[in-house]
Amino acid sequence: MAIRIIVKEPDEVLHKTAKEVKEVTPNVKKLLNDMADTMYDAEGVGLAAPQVGILKRLIVVDVGDEHGLIKMVNPEIVAKDGEQFGPEGCLSIPGLNGDVRRAEQVTVKGLDENGKEVTITGTGLLARCFQHEIDHLDGVLFTDIAERVYEYTPERAGKE
């Protein structure tokens, strides 16, 4: 396992559509593990493969809830419900936050790191994180859809 370099905006890889993973190989598992290490090292709650410069449909998410670390291959949102509106940041866009409107609950289907099909329903922060990371797989950044973007400072955290 290794910590990878997180690609920063305006790198063009962040604006491209990631390719479907045809098979969960040992290299895919290693990449998922590296992505998790990188996410934790950067103190993030999610990371998509394009953020480490790889155009594959892979995400890792850990919002500190009962689901723990989620590693997903070819994730797709199959159901959405409700609405939430609030701040988001991104490891690829340090120093900025934005107010983004998202579904309050999503159901995501994909493969786990062993190639087994999984379906996970998340609400609140987990739902927001799933939507944010899956957007990365389609070349969409939170700044593309935010209703307001502003500079992040620790003093303003939670007050915007």
Cα separation, 7 vs 51, in Å, equals: 5
Q: What is the mean pLDDT of residues 135-147?
A: 98
Cα separation, 135 vs 14, in Å, equals: 10
Is residue 90 within 8 A of residue 45, CB to CB? The reply is: no
Q: What is the mean pLDDT of residues 71-90?
A: 97
- Whole-prediction pTM value? 0.94
Q: What is the mean pLDDT of residues 128-139?
A: 98
Cα separation, 109 vs 74, in Å, equals: 8
Alpha-helical (H) ranges within 7-76 are 26-41
Instruction: Give the class (CATH, top level) of 12-156.
Output: alpha beta
Question: pLDDT, tens digit, for every residue of 6-31?
Answer: 999 999 999 999 999 999 999 999 99
Q: What is the mean pLDDT of residues 108-124?
A: 98
Strand 84-88 and strand 117-123: the pairing is: unpaired
Of 19-23, 101-105, 155-159, the least confident: 155-159
User: Is residue 15 marked as binding?
Assistant: no
Domain spans in the chain, listed from the N-terminal domain onward: 12-156
Helix (H, G, I), strand (E, B) or coil at 36: helix
User: Is residue 136 marked as binding?
Assistant: yes
Dihedral over alpha carbons 10, 22, 34, 90 (to 10 degrees): 30
Set 43, 113, 117, 133: catalytic member: 133
End-to-end CA distance of the chain: 37
Question: pLDDT, tens digit, for every residue of 39-66?
Answer: 999 999 999 999 999 999 999 999 999 9
Number of Cβ within 10 Å of residue 17's Cβ equals 12
83 catalytic residue (yes or no): no
pLDDT of residue 10: 96
User: Is residue 129 marked as binding?
Assistant: no
Task: Give the percent of the chain with pLDDT over 90.
Answer: 94
